[in-house]
Amino acid sequence: MPELVAVAHVEDLPEGKVKVVEACGKRLALCNDAGTFYAIDDECTHDRGPLDQGELVGHEIECPRHGGRFDVRTGEATRLPAIRPVHNYKVIVLDDGSIIVEV
């Protein structure tokens, strides 16, 4: 059964930035794409590189090691050498600005 975990506050993550958060023992990359928050596994499926250290470009995050990209909305791999998707998680922003991830 999914668990809802508070991981951050909207003030913690400016637009266009990525922050590592942990939820239920998982390391996640929390992304702020133009005020909408997304959470994906913080590990490139190509070489296990840390996605939080990559650049967020629109709806895509680029792995800093080899340039593979993933759509933060879906987890889909969008540029080689990445071909397998990363897992994405449902994100809820509460009225008080708390960011909740469903893990």
CA dist 47 → 43, 44, 60, 83 (Å): 8, 6, 17, 11
Q: Which pTM does this prediction carry?
A: 0.94
Q: Using the Cα atoms of residue 46, residue 81, residue 42 and residue 64 in order, give the sign of their dihedral.
A: positive
Choose among 25, 29, 68, 17: nearest CA to 45.
Answer: 68
Tell me the three state secondary structure of residue 52.
helix
Here the tokens at position 36 are 């909408």
pLDDT tens for 50-99 read 999 999 998 999 999 899 999 999 999 999 999 999 999 999 999 999 99
Cis peptide before 50 (omega within 30 of 0): no
What is the rounded distance in angstroms from the CA atom of residue 90 to the CA atom of residue 57?
20
pLDDT higher than threshold 90 for residue 1: no
pLDDT higher than threshold 90 for residue 34: yes
Q: Going by CATH, does the domain composed of 4-102 fall within 1.10.1740.10?
A: no
